[in-house]
Structure 1
């Protein structure tokens, strides 16, 4: 269920600031998608009209997918716009709205834990890529460092964990106040 967090005037300044920062991450991800689309179009045009492909488009596109996903996840978690099936929750809500708040709290806690583990698991690869100056591409032709891509996964996973933690706290507070609906 979608929550209004980014511009709600009644929200604490810290929460509004977090929402603003996470929405900025999503904006960077959206701009990155547009840039990748333009790069692919330019490569197709260059291949077909000039018979000269743009070097590295496939590698950049492949590496970008993961980074873009982890840029878009945190605000989706915070705003409640992650895709999920809620037909069961709607049935439960008719019987017990508090049970839905409990399930939402548990879901958010599970999400926070899972993404914290993803960030922890991705950190060693990021550190190794930094220490070894890891690059992808073809040496002497075209290379790009892998550290930014690894780092975006770590930052995105950590930010998603934080967003889920905030959502869990919000849902838990709604458990304590009977009669309030999840918004």
Structure 2
């Protein structure tokens, strides 16, 4: 096999359905760092939820007394964790999608695949923008009404930090989608660099 054919095969192998075009912009690097920090916070949140669940199970088994408000805290925490880790997943090309069509299209016409990916990422940004539009008033109302999560008189936490996590994750994921859409549109217009 010639050297050029070997390089072409290596490029095709690395340019799978999740292959991301280069994003040299400073905004992409900054957004990547912030998204990584939020993903770490989400991971720590996962550890905290696991600890609360284990305390609840242990308390029920050994002492006949569960950890207070476990179900309420876990339900609010899981949603926050998902959104804290969403921007990082999007930025790394790990968002859930069906790759059957895009994989075939990428092998036949990388430019059309990048164009379709640009549309896909714009749709993702639009959906998250709609979510942000509806979450923002909920945060304002939650703060104004002093809304809480938990059991009244036993364990109560303010609800707004959970909503802020959802808002921050949605905003950053929408920005990631927009940067990826721009990168894929640029790759579709100029052709993908090897």
Instruction: Compute the TM-score of the two structures, normalised by the length of structure 1.
Output: 0.90
- Residue aligning to 1:49: 62
Q: Does 1:36 align with 2:49?
A: yes
Q: Which residue of the other structure, out of 95, 101, 120, is the alignment partner of 1:88?
A: 101
Residue range with higher mean Cα deviation, 84-93 or 52-61 = 84-93
Pairs within 5 Å for 1:81-160:
81-160=94-173
Q: Counterparts of 2:146 and 2:105 in 1: how far apart (Å)?
A: 52
Shift of 1:139: 2.4
- Residue aligning to 1:163: 176
**What is the CA deviation profile of residues 13-33 of structure 1, one whole-angstrom value per residue up to 9, with x for unaligned ones?**
432221011011011101111
Q: Which has the larger radius of gyration?
A: 2
Q: Counterparts of 1:178 and 1:58 in 2: how far apart (Å)?
A: 51
Q: Does 1:22 align with 2:47?
A: no
> Deviating runs (4+, > 6 A) in structure 1?
none
Contact kept, 8 Å, 1:115 with 1:158, in 2: the verdict is yes
Instruction: Compute the TM-score of the two structures, normalised by the length of structure 2.
Output: 0.85
Change (3 A) 1:106 1:81: same
- Residue aligning to 2:5: none
Other structure's SS at 1:153 match: helix
Kindly report the root-mean-square deviation, in angstroms, between the aligned alpha carbons of the 2 structures: 1.7
Contact kept, 8 Å, 1:120 with 1:154, in 2: the verdict is no
Which ranges of structure 1 fall in alignment gaps of 5 or more residues? Answer: none
Q: Counterparts of 1:3 and 1:50 in 2: how far apart (Å)?
A: 52
